[in-house]
Structure 1
Amino acid sequence: MSKKRTNLPVQKNERLDVTFQDLTHEGAGVAKVDGYPLFVPDALPGEEADVKVVKTGKNFGFGRLMERHTTSDQRVDPPCPIYHWCGGCQLQHMNQGAQLALKREQVVNALHKYMNRGDIRVHETIGMDKPWAYRNKAQVPVAERDGELIAGFFAKRSHHIVDMDHCLIQGDQNDAAIQVVKNILKRYDIQPYDEGSGRGIIRHIVARNGRLSGETMVMLITNGEGLPHKKNIIAAIRQEVSGIHSIVQNINTKKTNVIYGERTEILLGEKYIEERVGKLRFALSPRSFFQVNPVQTEVLYEKVLQFADLRGNETVIDAYCGIGSISLFLAEEARKVYGVEVVGEAISDARKNAKLNHISNVEFSVGNAEEVVPWWRAAFGIQADVIVVDPPRKGCDEKLLETMIEMQPERIVYASCNPATLARDLRILSEGGYEVKEVQPVDMFPQTTHVESVTRLVRR
């Protein structure tokens, strides 16, 4: 009995010859069969190929590239030996120019979709001279395979770990630290955590490095307080990891994909390592958020400062201020900066960083920006000339957007890591009386599909 065919133009397991026309925001090639989009990884526009349909949906399907008949001039050979299995990078098969163009296109397409605007000036993406070995933090999950501890990154669209001996986008010191710690844990037969059963000890290995200070922090994420051979493991890490400044244990006993637990213990050394961006110094605690690419972070922050257009007499509010990195850049040019962040530990770090850099014209508060900013205004009469936001991927809280519109600052600077939520929020601000002047994409994460951007808005 033959399988019932759907009314779609393609069927699962069907082999087709296609020509790719476009790329998705995740870097997959897009081919259309009678108008039906088929998304295929590792394919580039203009290439002709034989593909196998692996999944179909009502509006689009997915395919696997079986054989390329032609090759795009944008294609390069990925230097990473596990690139086609590991999910850490998505664009190593594209040259840098094509990657930068794709990231700008992500922003342009989002503005079209959410704002129906094609006239907003979106600059060319600012890339890196050396788009490799840029990450200052590695978070590597561990698992057991054939009775042995492995550590690497998840395969594409799975929780299957691809064992890794070397990562080309990690900083060399972090990369080496991960491998050393992995081997030490294997030496002492430390059992990896199993997601299914909830048993096992070690969940993640984290390495963080200060690019200019050379200081390295190693963090062991464990499923409970116990860590067999703890003293020996600490001694081995201290002896074998180059530049070790701090060894930390974070305890996470929840059955969750979230990496960190609430409790952190310092096993050796200091609670902080130091990172620098421009001439500013930052003390990074184990769980504090900081941009992973310090070279491009300086580019990004300089663009924020340029768009803020400070003359020295402005009051600035930095919502979602984190450990105060953008706030301190702004404070050097403003009269006063107020930063707000919901994570109390980050605010403690922000205050420490202000003292570290001898900056006194900045104040930090703990709380939700959408609650604290209106309170500042009502209780203290604080009126911002410029508001800077750098929200998480979900974008700004709607109440904060309403408050920003009510406060009527002269300028708003919006740093974003998600073009879709950026465009959604820009539409609200535009309807509230602000003109979107320009957007500057910055390639913070070369070889991946992620793009950061900075937008300049002025009050009409």
Structure 2
Amino acid sequence: MSQQNNLIKLNIVDINDNGEGVGKFEEKIIFVPDTVTGDVVLVSLNFIKRQYAYGKVKEIIHSSPYRVRPNCIVSDKCGGCQWQHISPEYQLHIKQNKIVQSLRRIGRFKDISVLPILSSSEIFGYRNKATYPLSYSKSGNVHAGYYQRHTHKLININQCPIQDSRLNSFLAEIKLDIEKQRWTIYNEKTYEGQLRHLALRIGHSTGEVLLTLVSTSSHINEIKKQANLWLEKYPNLIGVLINQNSEKSNKIFGDKTFSIVGEPFLKENFFNIDFKLRPDTFFQVNTQSAETLLHSLLDNLILTGKEKIVDAYCGIGTFTLPLAKRVSHATGIEISYDSIEQAKTNAKANNIDNVVFYQGAVKDILPSLNISPDIVLLDPPRKGCEDGVIETLRRVRPPLIIYISCQPSTLARDLKKICHQNLYKILWIQPVDFFPQTPHVESIVAIRHIV
């Protein structure tokens, strides 16, 4: 097996953390995308190392009982989602097991009990936001879609089954309009051209849509005329914007956004709280699953209304504001100045006056607060909490910590540190499926201080 492109017969026996099928051949671990446990496949090896290799499916010799027909004709090429070939029930099983195994292997938790995963009410059409890279084909047509896995080859699509179906009417037509306008497309190799991404965002509860062109320049020829035509054509489109990003990087949004016509934000109602969302505002992409998570949290917490809570990575107040209505006082901490300003605006618009927001790092703000929180809510990015945050928590010692995680491996790592020397004990763990058709899974963990 020393040469690449060798064909081997492989039994898929597991799924790794990246969602790829796993098999073994001649004592070497083989990772194969687009497979599932129980598949028997003919595989071409294309990346060989000493202890492992990657392969590509050439033929499915025997289909797994967990294999289903994908909903999308480019599902095996597009990098937008990876699991359309796996039955919804088995996807949930894999995600549940992923959390259990991470807690055992990384966290070293032996007798850990994980509640059954809460499924998403929509396994397709759940994404309320899409950002599509743009390119020109060799024939001069505008392409938009997602990059093929592990490449920068753009897979052109006209609709996407996991995004809100109300956004599908835009994609094909907008590409044609860009062609007609002869706007230039950014080339990431030469750094020439203007348009980089087409971004669409919809309010799940309101149906309001924002269309944003990410461009290297704030000036796009005839954009206002075209934007007015779009507003006339699409009844639920309420605003067209330009986001300026001239950086030579793979960052999607730049720091400046300009409203061309219509509104600079859309309205969304989440857990009976009204929010205003801009194109680049961080907000959960699966609105209904986020509400399921919050319902589960409240059911398990059984709040009395007298609690003081700190939301340590509060963003625009997505969880802070619904919780503030159920406790005596809420505090939000967030490193992003723009997010904090939006959180303050959202609190005022909803007449929630028992909440205070601070801009800064959690490790700096938390110990300086003039309150002793009963509950600290953690909802960090995928990389998890910094060591300074965990050290601060162990020093402040709130009675209850609620950790919301989108990455089982960093969750297990952080829980091990928080619970070190039996300072804290895990009460319950609730997985929630935020991202059907992908390997990603969300989970909530309650951790009690041991007195």
Return the TM-score normalized by structure 1.
0.94
Residues 286-435 of structure 1 mapped to structure 2, 5 A cutoff: 286-376=279-369, 380=370, 382-431=371-420, 433-435=423-425
SS state of the match for residue 57, structure 2? strand
Match of 1:19 in 2: 11
Q: Return the alpha-carbon distance in structure 1 between the equivalents of residues 4 and 243 of structure 2.
A: 45
Match of 2:142 in 1: 149
Q: Return the alpha-carbon distance in structure 1 between the equivalents of residues 301 and 173 of structure 2.
A: 44
Choose the corresponding residue for 2:170, options 177, 188, 209: 177
Q: Return the alpha-carbon distance in structure 2 between the equivalents of residues 361 and 29 of structure 1.
A: 49
Q: Return the alpha-carbon distance in structure 1 between the equivalents of residues 176 and 297 of structure 2.
A: 42
Kept in 1, the 8 Å contact 2:214–2:244? The answer is: yes
Runs in 1 of length 4+ with deviation above 3 angstroms?
306-309
1:27/1:79 CA distance change after superposition, 3 Å: same
Residues 70-109 of structure 1 mapped to structure 2, 5 A cutoff: 70-109=62-101
Match of 2:20 in 1: 28
Q: Return the alpha-carbon distance in structure 1 between the equivalents of residues 259 and 68 of structure 2.
A: 44
Q: Return the alpha-carbon distance in structure 2 between the equivalents of residues 209 and 52 of structure 1.
A: 41
Return the TM-score normalized by structure 2.
0.96
Q: Per-residue deviation at 1:106?
A: 1.5
Q: Which range moved further: 129-138 or 231-240?
A: 231-240
Does residue 64 of structure 1 match 2:62?
A: no
Kept in 2, the 8 Å contact 1:340–1:369? The answer is: yes
Q: Return the alpha-carbon distance in structure 2 between the equivalents of residues 246 and 172 of structure 1.
A: 19
Kept in 2, the 8 Å contact 1:304–1:415? The answer is: no
Q: Per-residue deviation at 1:384?
A: 0.8
Does residue 39 of structure 1 match 2:31?
A: yes
For 2:155, give the aligned amino acid: V
For 1:319, give the aligned amino acid: A
Kept in 1, the 8 Å contact 2:104–2:110? The answer is: yes
Q: Return the alpha-carbon distance in structure 2 between the equivalents of residues 416 and 242 of structure 1.
A: 37
Kept in 1, the 8 Å contact 2:218–2:258? The answer is: no
Superposed CA RMSD: 1.4
Q: Per-residue deviation at 1:124?
A: 2.1
Percent identity over the alignment? 32
What are the Cα deviations for residues 343-380 of structure 1, in whole angstroms up to 9, with x where unaligned?
A: 1111111111112222111111111111111222xxx3
Kept in 1, the 8 Å contact 2:399–2:449? The answer is: yes
Gaps of 5+ in 2: none
Q: Return the alpha-carbon distance in structure 1 between the equivalents of residues 173 and 293 of structure 2.
A: 33
Q: Return the alpha-carbon distance in structure 1 between the equivalents of residues 346 and 420 of structure 2.
A: 37
What are the Cα deviations for residues 360-417 of structure 1, in whole angstroms up to 9, with x where unaligned?
A: 11111111111111222xxx3x211100010001111211111111111111100011
Match of 1:5 in 2: none
Q: Return the alpha-carbon distance in structure 1 between the equivalents of residues 301 and 322 of structure 2.
A: 11
Match of 1:236 in 2: 229
Does residue 436 of structure 1 match 2:426?
A: yes
SS state of the match for residue 61, structure 1? strand
Kept in 2, the 8 Å contact 1:16–1:50? The answer is: yes
Kept in 1, the 8 Å contact 2:120–2:432? The answer is: no
What are the Cα deviations for residues 269-324 of structure 1, in whole angstroms up to 9, with x where unaligned?
A: 22221111222221112221000111101011222333444211111110010000
Residues 215-294 of structure 1 mapped to structure 2, 5 A cutoff: 215-294=208-287
Match of 1:138 in 2: 130
Kept in 2, the 8 Å contact 1:285–1:349? The answer is: no
Kept in 2, the 8 Å contact 1:337–1:362? The answer is: yes
SS state of the match for residue 194, structure 1? coil
SS state of the match for residue 122, structure 1? coil
Q: Which range moved further: 302-311 or 440-449?
A: 302-311
Match of 1:194 in 2: 187
Kept in 1, the 8 Å contact 2:268–2:277? The answer is: yes
Q: Which range moved further: 406-415 or 44-53?
A: 44-53
Q: Per-residue deviation at 1:430?
A: 0.7
Q: Return the alpha-carbon distance in structure 2 between the equivalents of residues 303 and 401 of structure 1.
A: 25
Q: Per-residue deviation at 1:165?
A: 0.6
For 2:104, give the aligned amino acid: H
Q: Return the alpha-carbon distance in structure 2 between the equivalents of residues 104 and 161 of structure 1.
A: 32
What are the Cα deviations for residues 88-119 of structure 1, in whole angstroms up to 9, with x where unaligned?
A: 01000001011111111221121122122232
SS state of the match for residue 259, structure 1? coil
SS state of the match for residue 213, structure 2? strand
Does residue 159 of structure 1 match 2:152?
A: yes
For 1:452, give the aligned amino acid: E
Q: Which range moved further: 109-118 or 337-346?
A: 109-118
For 2:317, give the aligned amino acid: G
What are the Cα deviations for residues 38-65 of structure 1, in whole angstroms up to 9, with x where unaligned?
A: 0111222222222121111122111111
Q: Return the alpha-carbon distance in structure 2 between the equivalents of residues 352 and 30 of structure 1.
A: 48
Between Structure 1 and Structure 2, how many residues are aligned?
448
What are the Cα deviations for residues 139-179 of structure 1, in whole angstroms up to 9, with x where unaligned?
A: 11101111222111111111111011110011122222333
SS state of the match for residue 333, structure 1? coil
Does residue 51 of structure 1 match 2:43?
A: yes
Q: Return the alpha-carbon distance in structure 2 between the equivalents of residues 373 and 164 of structure 1.
A: 46
Q: Per-residue deviation at 1:70?
A: 1.3
Q: Per-residue deviation at 1:10?
A: 5.7
Match of 1:4 in 2: none
